[in-house]
């Protein structure tokens, strides 16, 4: 691990930083996963972004930003509308037990037993599938 990872592991020892970093990492990963799945479904359905926008009575720019912008933060309502237009729905699923333990315990307790391992896990979580495919 380089200096960045050492610094991050040290920063994760601060309960407030740890909570914010874990929550933000999970938020990014969750939104990326849902948006990527919806974009894949749109492409599989042969719909343009403009056609999808018309289907949910939205401006085409809304859909372009959803699928093209980095750091997008759509509302659950927007995701549900897009999903419905694609014959899908947004659902929740429990995390696998080891991941649940590594993420939930630090949030609830404000500390992690192994901050280096947590930093590594969160880094993988924050790497979107499309970023991984581009490498």
3-state secondary structure 21-47: HHHHHHHHHHHHHHHHHHHHHHHHHCC
Question: What does pTM read for this prediction?
Answer: 0.83
Nearest Cα neighbor of 30 from 92, 100, 77, 88 is 92
Domains of the chain: 3-134 (1.10.260.40)
| Each residue's pLDDT tens digit, 52-92 | 999 999 999 999 999 987 778 899 999 999 999 999 999 99
pLDDT band at 102 (very low <50, low <70, confident <90, very high): confident
The answer on pLDDT for 1 being more than 80 is no
Return the sign of the alpha-carbon dihedral for residues 105, 110, 113, 116: positive
Report the pLDDT value the prediction gives residue 117, as an integer from 0 to 100. 87
């Amino acid at each position: 691990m380089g200096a960045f990872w050492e610094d991050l592991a040290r920063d994760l020892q601060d309960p407030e930083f740890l909570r914010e970093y874990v929550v933000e990492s999970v938020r990014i990963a969750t939104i990326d996963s849902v948006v990527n799945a919806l974009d894949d479904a749109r492409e599989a359905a042969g719909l343009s972004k403009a056609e999808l926008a018309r289907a949910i009575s939205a401006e085409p720019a809304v859909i372009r930003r959803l699928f093209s912008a980095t750091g997008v933060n759509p509302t659950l309502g927007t995701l549900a509308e897009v999903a419905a237009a694609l014959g899908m729905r947004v659902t929740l699923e429990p995390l696998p037990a080891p991941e649940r333990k590594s993420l939930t315990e630090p949030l609830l307790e404000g500390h992690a037993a192994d901050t280096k391992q947590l930093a590594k896990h969160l880094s993988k979580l924050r790497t979107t599938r499309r970023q991984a495919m581009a490498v």
